[in-house]
Amino acid sequence: MRKHVDLVGLLFILWGGMSLLLSVSLLSTGVAATAIGAAVAPAASSGKVTAGIVAAVFFVLAGAGLVFGLVHIWIGTRLRRFREWARAFAIVLAAVDLVLVPFGTGLGVYTLWALLNEQSKPLFDSTSAGPPFPSASTDRNGPAASR
């Protein structure tokens, strides 16, 4: 399960990066709408109002997308470090991602499967120093002394 949790973290980082790219695109569209509103003749006041409303909508969507993307990147990096609190935040974000068809749905389902699995819970145990790494005295089947 360690590989699955690590992959979820990487997918969160990639999903956040794609959200940031989309946000930059929305931001540039908002700037274009603002420029159109500024270029409208003074007699056409309804055109300025319409362009202003469109620009405001694009700026709000760009801001929301920037926050959404940055949170995904932040949680993804913390998931890869097996932070206990990042698991809870990732589960909440996965529930939100479920409605973002098709890629968000896939990411949400995979995240919920990987993080709610009983085998992944010990990876995030706060009482241990971190995720269990194989040592020289252990292999896939457990300690060498138990053979």
In the numeric block, the tokens 């589960």 are attached to 91
100 SS3 class: coil
Question: What are the pLDDT tens digits along the chain (147 aa)?
Answer: 899 999 999 999 999 999 999 999 999 999 999 998 888 777 777 888 888 899 999 999 999 999 999 999 999 999 999 999 999 999 999 999 999 999 999 999 999 999 999 999 999 987 655 555 554 444 455 444 444
Distance of CA 120 to the CA centre of its chain: 19
Q: Angle at the Cα of 106 (from 100 to 112), degrees rounded to 5?
A: 100
Q: Which long-range contacts (CB under 8 A, 24 or more apart) does 128-136 make?
A: 130/82, 131/2, 131/82, 132/2
Say how far residue 2 (Cα) sits from the centre of its chain: 19
